[in-house]
Structures are given as structure tokens and as C-alpha cells.
């Protein structure tokens, strides 16, 4: 849910620093259907714990649209991450990094604002159509071994880098900043890097 906030902040920042090259990679705390039960003991308790994180995110700048009550009312199991990751990779295969980011934002909106089941391929297909992708091509890429391999490659790289939080930003393939930090902090780091100075993030 914190990725929802981070993306909005990065969208504004890229408008002010168009020289930045933002590359999105897949990572998940709950990649598989059983992940939430494994993490929290059972799916019901897991969802309730996650709803607490939603409420915290909703209280922050850029989180006002997050609909905690609506997701809490949904009867489907809390969505795991892999379908959404594959959806973004399939978008990237068609339209590069801009399409990946657009798909990510649309899926996040479906999840956090509309409280839709983003493990449902029909929901993801709707998202692909709404951002203007060739849906037939997207469906083929979504189901392809290439998309799955691309996600697995990203997950492996994240493990090697010690990433264990979402979101995590990595600057210049060197400085790692976990969490949805304030926009002012991101801007300070970027300004220092552009000036050739070291940021405070490790």
C-alpha cells in the first residue's frame, strides 16, 4: 500500500527532474496465494493486520483515496502479488517502462481505491484496456514464460540486494532507501545526487 503513495510522489518529482531515469522492478512480500497465511497465521488475521497498514497509509499525504472500509468489506481473499507483477511485466513487454508504470498505477488504483480483486485476470485485463494497451497482446504476454521469468529475475535481484520492504528505492544502483519516505526527502536525495554529492541514504 505504501507503493501507492511512493508512486504519486515520484510522478511529481519526475516532472521537475526530467533527466531522471526511473526503472521499475518487481518485488513482493506476499508473492503466492499461501503467503499471507504463512506470514500471519491465517488469511483472516493477515487481512486484518494489512488493513491496519492501509489505515496508516490512508492517513498520509497522497493516501486520501485509499478505501480501507471497502476492502475490509470484500469477501474475496486478500490479493497476493504475483498476478499484479506479471500484469506490469506484460505491459512493459509491450510499451516499455512507461507502460509498466501506467499499469502499476492502474492496478494500485483498482486495489487500493476501488477494492477490486487484482488476482482476477479479468480485473487486470480491464486495467490493461484502460491504459490503452493492445489487450490481446497483453493477455498473451501476461501468460507467457517470458513475463514469469522477468518477474523471477527481479525477485532474485532484490534478494541479492537485501530488499525486504515495499517500496524500496535504489539510487544509482548504490544507495538503498526503503519505505514510503516524504517527498521532501526524495527531492533532497535527488538534488544531492545531481550535484555530485552523496545522499544520506545508504
**Would 115 be classed as within a structural domain?**
yes
**Would 138 be classed as within a structural domain?**
yes
β-strand partners of 177: 169
**Would 70 be classed as within a structural domain?**
yes
**Would 125 be classed as within a structural domain?**
yes
Query: Into how many domains does the chain fold?
Result: 1
Give the pLDDT confidence of 64-95 residue by residue, as tens digits: 999 999 999 999 999 999 999 999 999 999 99
Domain of 150, in residue numbers: 2-194
What CATH number corresponds to the domain at position 64?
Answer: 3.40.30.10
β-strand partners of 171: 175
**Would 202 be classed as within a structural domain?**
no
Give the pLDDT confidence of 121-139 residue by residue, as tens digits: 999 999 999 999 999 999 9
**Would 162 be classed as within a structural domain?**
yes
Tell the residue number behind the cell numbers 531515469, with chain if given. 21
Share of residues in the chain with pLDDT > 70 (%): 99
**Would 199 be classed as within a structural domain?**
no
SS (H, E, C) 2-60: HHHHHHHHHHHHHHHCCCCCCCCCCCCCCCCCCHHHHHHCCHHHHHHHHHHHHHHHHCC
Is pLDDT of 201 > 60? no
**Would 201 be classed as within a structural domain?**
no
Q: Which residue has the higher pLDDT, 1 or 27?
A: 27
Best mean pLDDT range from 30-39, 110-119, 193-202: 110-119
| 54 neighbors 68 (Cβ within 8 angstroms) | yes
Amino acid at each position: 500500500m505504501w507503493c501507492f503513495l511512493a508512486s504519486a510522489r515520484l510522478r511529481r518529482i519526475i516532472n521537475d527532474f526530467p533527466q531522471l531515469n526511473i526503472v521499475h522492478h518487481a518485488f513482493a512480500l506476499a508473492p503466492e496465494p499461501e503467503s499471507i497465511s504463512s506470514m500471519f497465521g491465517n488469511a483472516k488475521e493477515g487481512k486484518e493486520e494489512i488493513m491496519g497498514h492501509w489505515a496508516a497509509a490512508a492517513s498520509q499525504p497522497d493516501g486520501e483515496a485509499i478505501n480501507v472500509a471497502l476492502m475490509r468489506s470484500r469477501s474475496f481473499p486478500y490479493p497476493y502479488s504475483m498476478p499484479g507483477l506479471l500484469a506490469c511485466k506484460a505491459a512493459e513487454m509491450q510499451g516499455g517502462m512507461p507502460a509498466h508504470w501506467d499499469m502499476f498505477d492502474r492496478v494500485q488504483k483498482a486495489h487500493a481505491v476501488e477494492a477490486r480483486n487484482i488476482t482476477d485476470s479479468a480485473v487486470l485485463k480491464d486495467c490493461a484496456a484502460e491504459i490503452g494497451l493492445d489487450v490481446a497482446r497483453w493477455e498473451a504476454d501476461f501468460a507467457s514464460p517470458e513475463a514469469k521469468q522477468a518477474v523471477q529475475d527481479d525477485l532474485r535481484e532484490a534478494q541479492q540486494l537485501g530488499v525486504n520492504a515495499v517500496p524500496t528505492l535504489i539510487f544509482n544502483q548504490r544507495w538503498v532507501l526503503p519505505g514510503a519516505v516524504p517527498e521532501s526527502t526524495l527531492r533532497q536525495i535527488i538534488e544531492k545526487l545531481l550535484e555530485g554529492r552523496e545522499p544520506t541514504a545508504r
